[in-house]
Amino acid sequence: MDLFPIFLKIAARPCIVIGAGNLAESKIESLQAAHARVTVIAPEARPRIADLAAAGEIEWLQREYAEGDLTGHFLVVAATNNSAVNRAVYREATEKNVLCNAVDDPPFCDFYFPSVVRRGDLQIAISTAGASPALAQRLRKEINAQLPLDAGDWLTDLGNLRREVTQMEPLNEERKWLLHQLAQREVCGYEGCPSRLLARKHALTNPLPEKKS
């Protein structure tokens, strides 16, 4: 099956996790990292999850899952140790068009949690479509070891420079070429940055056309 790779904005969206054990903990933290509004349903919870609920960072409904719990939610993670419950969650999710991930049960997933390498806003996500999470984790470790620790800071500077370029340069093939060149050069935040000077020199020789009144 071909998967559609996507980075999804879920900030403030209602997301629900069924289960609060070892399988659920990392998924809850991933949803929190994306600033989702997280509800957890489980009769018992690991200490870390209980602490998050006590701090008001998530909502914990201390009971078993019941049909109808997915109403109004954007996505659900079924993370109990009972496959029958997880599949019941998936059935309800399918009926209500709620995206579902049944942990460690690929046929009952609309999406998978990838292994992710992060450096600030830079994210490299690796998926094996559920075939081998262990391979995805190994690749993540290898990429993480090779990616510079300051790649996130570099990306921030590159993003700032890109905004400067798009304000100075007309939308054309030359601007596209320049942005690709800058992505291969050392970019830094200070005014005398060689890449920033290159961008400004290019703008002087290729000024924006004057707007007609």
3-state secondary structure 17-59: EECCCHHHHHHHHHHHHCCCEEEEECCCCCHHHHHHHHCCCCE
What is the rounded average pLDDT of the residues 22-48?
A: 96
Residue given tokens 């993003």 in the structure block: 159
Alpha carbon distance 147, 50 (integer Å): 35
Residue-wise pLDDT tens digits, 105-158: 888 999 998 888 989 888 899 988 878 889 999 999 999 998 888 888 888 888
- Beta bridge pairs of residue 76: 16, 100
- Alpha-carbon separation of residue 193 from 47, 138, 182, 189, 199 (angstroms): 48, 37, 11, 7, 10
Provide the pLDDT for residue 44: 96
CA-nearest of 196, 164, 192, 191 to 181 is: 196
Decide if pLDDT at 181 tops 70.
yes
Decide if pLDDT at 40 tops 80.
yes
Residue given tokens 């509800």 in the structure block: 39
Provide the pLDDT for residue 208: 53
Tell me if the pTM is above 0.85.
Answer: no
Provide the pLDDT for residue 100: 97
Residue given tokens 């984790």 in the structure block: 137
Alpha carbon distance 15, 116 (integer Å): 20
* Burial (Cβ within 10 Å: 0-12, 13-18, ≥19) of residue 87: middle
Provide the pLDDT for residue 190: 59
Give the amino acid at 120.
G
In this prediction, what percent of the chain has a pLDDT beyond 70?
89
Mean of per-residue pLDDT scores for the chain: 88
What is the rounded average pLDDT of the residues 156-162?
A: 85
Provide the pLDDT for residue 209: 55
Q: Are 156 and 193 in contact (CB under 8 A)?
A: no
Looking at 32-36, 92-96, 188-192, which range is the least confident one?
188-192
